[in-house]
Structure 1
Amino acid sequence: MTIQAIKPIKTTKNVDITSSSAEEEQPLSPVARMFHESDSTVYIIVIIGFETQLNPEVIKANLGHTLLSQPRFCSLQLPDEKRGGELKWVRTVVDLDNHVKVPTLDPNMDSPDMFVEDYVSNLSKTGISMSIPMWDLHLLNIKTSDAESVGVLRVHHSLGDGTSLMTLFMSCTRKVSDPEALPSLPMNMKKKHGSSSGGFLQYFIKLFSVLLLYWNTFVDVVMFFITTFYLDDTKTPLKGPLGVASTPRRIVHRTVSLEDVKLVKNAMNVTVNDVMVGVTEAALTRNLNRKYGKIKEEAGGAEGHNNLPKNIRLRATHFVNLRPYLVNEDVSEMIKSSSKVKLGNLIGYVIFPFTIGLREDVLDHVRSAKATGKRKKASLEALYTYLMAKFFIKFFSAKWASFPTQTTLWYSNVPGPQEEVTCFGHQVAYVAPTCYGQPNALMIHVVSYVNKMKIIVSVDEGVVPDPHQICDDIEESLKLIKNAVIEKGLVDCYDY
């Protein structure tokens, strides 16, 4: 197979990375500065599996008109003495040898999967020097159980959030079925409400919706402050202590069927996110029930069916893409050229409660996720957390705007390409993004690719020593929920 350089749809022949731009000498945004605080120095790691061996020279040749067309990927973050040491973007000449790492590997090593896992874990022990643009790319030509080679992109979160980086990644890809075509974007189909029979009734419904939105927002803001100053999650075996932001992470991933997720989605009239949140809730319940059972045994008691303490408070910092609310972006136009992608951190978060407890009907986990998700969508909590972070950073200090340490985990999901793609001529097998540096011991990330759903778990092993078991529990919970949907006759037999 001949690997060729990607053919950009619209770009310039050469990128003048030393020329001035709109972003040059501009200060970092308030949210970008927050990612430099000691308790939230967060890096995004994207593990990409490929169906072929990687050609480093081809990849380097393509970076010039893709990643390096982005000012943030070729800019230093330096203190501005005129602004009291506040960081600013300063363009520089990029030496790709400082960013693209190609270690020499033994193709006959005993456990390639564990090598890659350890390699990524070792990356989480270090940061990227601020003397260069804060990103690097590691090319591992080693065959694993699910890929012929692996690329690991590490980016400091100040450069952009998961949504903007996924958009940038998609701009670097082309369809396998049509090497000249861009991948299709996942579409969020919003329900169109028909006009009501009477004008007054329609007006009343709209008024009620607005009042409900503001009431829910008020309640969520109050709960946000109560959480910040008082309300901590229950000290479960999954809850990390203060200071875990600086600890190394063990990052593992598991593939499940997106078709199984869609089967549950369609049968229960919910969203893909509802299904995955419900599956995660069921998995964490299984995991904690097992852990508390072992604690009982070690204390001399007998492990029972239900070992969970009552009234466990377990919540997630659930991240939300705010671009639909704050900017008008045509992503389909942006991915035509990497230079058009708008990097940045337009994310807020909501405090999302999980109901931890064994259920007689496993589908109740999905119903609970749907109800909580619907309630959170009828609120401006995510927008509020974003605006409050900007306010505190601008007028006080970034320390005032740090991410909550009171929650048990971070949770995020990003839709990926809907069909198989190549990146710089290399066919992609999977995409697995996650983070390290967050102030929680556990993060669960979900990303779709073609007919697969990738689950990525990032943990502090000192708190959560069994990340593979969490993946097992997620996989098993999805299977149980799918089987329950089929057994209850919620889907036709020809749907599975």
Structure 2
Amino acid sequence: MELRRRPAGIRTGRGGIEEEEEEESGGRRREGREEEPMSPAARLFHAPHFNCHIIAIIGSGKEIDVDAIKAGIRATLARHPRFCSIQVLDDETEGKKARWVRTEVEVEKHLVIPDLHPDDEGGDTTAAADRLLEDYVASLCRSTMDASRPLWEFHILNFPTSEAAAVAVFRVHHSLGDGASLMSLLLACFRRTSDPDALPSLPEPHRPPRSPSAVSPPPALGHSALQGTEFHPKRFVHRTICLHHVKAIKNAMHCTINDVLVGVASAGFSRYLSRRYGESGRRLPENIRMRSTLLVNMRPTPTIHAMAAAMEEGNTSGDRWGNLLGYLLLPFPVAMYKDPLEYVRKGKAIADRKKNSMEALFTHRSAAVVFKHCGFKAAAALSKRVLSNTTLSFSNIIGPTEEIEFYGHPMVYLAPTVYGHPHALTLTLVSYMNTMKVVLAVDELAIPDPHQLLEDFADSLELIKEALPTRT
């Protein structure tokens, strides 16, 4: 009996259309070829409205040794297949698919060392350095990377700021991988300060039984106020809050850290919007709807140890890599409650409802169907429509629990974010030791005072903590 090959289509397994391309790419690797097809999600991140880049601002505890950084990158990051491949985006009408092509990496061409010196004419050198750093990082979203090389850069700013002795800025195109995988890869390049041979340790994430697998004002903030915000320059700001306070609220209210963070974010947005409306002589409306898009990684995130092994071997044949994403629409209540704990209660109720839904799986499968039957442009248009009708992007990242170093430099803080998508506001929270970074990427046409919004987040956390019942 003749065995017939199953026609190409969307598989019922967990990988969808991207899994098919991964299997094809694996076959090409086994045949010894140097090309791999790009996944649908990777191609989506090259669409005009989704030309997304990830930025990670890394504070160093000492002046950065450029030679040590070069040697470290050569031994780790530059050996990963995605970071030593260029992207060839051919015209698919001619039957050619977008693909990854291996190339030789010249690390020196990926290092950017600007000659910058803080202007201390006003007498406050630290404030000038902070502003210079902020302006420099903001300028990155106005520049493009050379497509003839792998799409990543490492910027070294060797001047002290209020938080660090020097700063490195890592920029990578989002098509190289999802945020969780790229974070694992970056941390796999780091080592513990207490043991330079040991990889960073992460806390075990809490996974509810029915959660999606592998999860990781004025009207200017509204979804319809700013058309084309993905093309506007962004400003990136961050602030450190106390992780111990977040955990104290979690323990007192018998919820998760995610529940607390949703509540704190809701309280912060409410304070900010109430002030903005008050400045124009109006009261905060009761019918404001603020919804965030929360991307969900639909496959288990590669472990740090797996990433370290992949870089050592120079391949990822044993791991699934790339963008395999669904999303949730997460509402943030906007109101001025007399009891600050009400924000956390409502945040927990919202998070519990989302954890028990199949929303992320449904959105992932729906996008796969649209891509398969309607094509790349239709999938990009659908994704843009969804994001354009929400207010912000939101993500929470679990970071190392102890001090780590990157290529011999102690890391003081890590502040990752993303730009290039149709949102005027992106909120990212990342933990590190006993602190948490609140990172904002904002369109200043919508949010002209992002530092005030950070202040409102910090104040909201303190108010919620102070409202906890006192133990007797």
TM range (shorter): 0.7 to 0.9
- Counterpart Cα distance in 2 of 1:191 and 1:317: 20
State whether structure 2 residue 431 is matched by structure 1 residue 455.
no
8 Å Cα contact 2:118/2:132 also seen in 1 = no
- Counterpart Cα distance in 1 of 2:359 and 2:297: 12
- Counterpart Cα distance in 2 of 1:38 and 1:188: 35
State whether structure 2 residue 411 is matched by structure 1 residue 428.
yes
Match of 2:147 in 1: 130
Match of 1:118 in 2: 135
2:116 to 105, 116, 122: 105
Give CA-to-partner distance per residue, 1:332-383, whole Å, 9 cap, x none: 4444553557541133210111111111211111111111111111111112
- Counterpart Cα distance in 2 of 1:423 and 1:320: 27
Match of 2:228 in 1: 243
| SS across alignment from 1:26 | strand
Match of 2:327 in 1: 349
Match of 1:395 in 2: 373
| SS across alignment from 1:86 | coil
Match of 2:394 in 1: 411
Amino acid at match of 1:410: S
8 Å Cα contact 1:285/1:357 also seen in 2 = yes
Match of 1:321 in 2: 297
* Aligned-residue offset at 1:279: 0.3
* Aligned-residue offset at 1:422: 0.7
Match of 1:28 in 2: 38
- Say if 1:334 and 1:93 are closer, same or farther in 2 by CA, change over 3 A: closer
Give runs of aligned pairs for residues 71-470 of structure 1, distance below 5 A. 71-80=81-90, 84-106=95-117, 109=120, 110=125, 111-190=128-207, 236-239=219-222, 240-296=225-281, 307-324=283-300, 331-335=304-308, 338=311, 339=314, 343-401=321-379, 402-403=383-384, 404=386, 405-470=388-453
* Aligned-residue offset at 1:390: 2.8
8 Å Cα contact 1:164/1:342 also seen in 2 = no
CA RMSD, 1 decimal: 2.3
| SS across alignment from 1:39 | helix
- Say if 1:190 and 1:461 are closer, same or farther in 2 by CA, change over 3 A: closer
Match of 2:454 in 1: 471
* Aligned-residue offset at 1:484: 0.6
8 Å Cα contact 1:283/1:470 also seen in 2 = yes
1:54 to 59, 64, 70: 64
| SS across alignment from 2:50 | coil
TM-score, scaled relative to structure 1: 0.80
- Counterpart Cα distance in 2 of 1:169 and 1:442: 24
Amino acid at match of 2:146: S
Give CA-to-partner distance per residue, 1:107-129, whole Å, 9 cap, x none: 66541100000000000112212
| SS across alignment from 2:108 | helix
State whether structure 2 residue 73 is matched by structure 1 residue 63.
yes
- Say if 1:131 and 1:334 are closer, same or farther in 2 by CA, change over 3 A: closer
| SS across alignment from 2:463 | helix
Give CA-to-partner distance per residue, 1:47-97, whole Å, 9 cap, x none: 000101101111111112211111111111113457645321011112222
- Counterpart Cα distance in 2 of 1:107 and 1:290: 33
Amino acid at match of 1:346: L
- Counterpart Cα distance in 1 of 2:309 and 2:38: 26
Give CA-to-partner distance per residue, 1:421-455, whole Å, 9 cap, x none: 01111000000000111101011000000101000
| SS across alignment from 1:241 | coil
Amino acid at match of 2:354: K
* Aligned-residue offset at 1:24: 3.5
Amino acid at match of 1:323: R
Amino acid at match of 2:458: E
TM-score, scaled relative to structure 2: 0.84
8 Å Cα contact 1:185/1:332 also seen in 2 = no
Which ranges in structure 2 are unaligned for 5 or more consecutive residues? 1-27
Give CA-to-partner distance per residue, 1:223-265, whole Å, 9 cap, x none: xxxxxxxxxxx97231242211111100000000001111101
- Say if 1:39 and 1:108 are closer, same or farther in 2 by CA, change over 3 A: closer
Which ranges in structure 1 are unaligned for 5 or more consecutive residues? 1-19, 193-208, 214-233, 297-302
Amino acid at match of 1:105: L
8 Å Cα contact 2:241/2:435 also seen in 1 = yes
8 Å Cα contact 1:21/1:71 also seen in 2 = no
- Counterpart Cα distance in 1 of 2:297 and 2:90: 30
* Aligned-residue offset at 1:182: 1.4
* Aligned-residue offset at 1:310: 2.2
Give runs of aligned pairs for residues 481-492 of structure 1, distance below 5 A. 481-485=464-468, 488-489=469-470, 492=471
Match of 2:13 in 1: none
- Say if 1:287 and 1:162 are closer, same or farther in 2 by CA, change over 3 A: same
- Counterpart Cα distance in 2 of 1:414 and 1:422: 18
Give CA-to-partner distance per residue, 1:148-201, whole Å, 9 cap, x none: 000000000000121111111111111111122111122024579xxxxxxxxx
* Aligned-residue offset at 1:21: 4.2
| SS across alignment from 2:49 | coil
Number of residue pairs matched by the alignment = 420
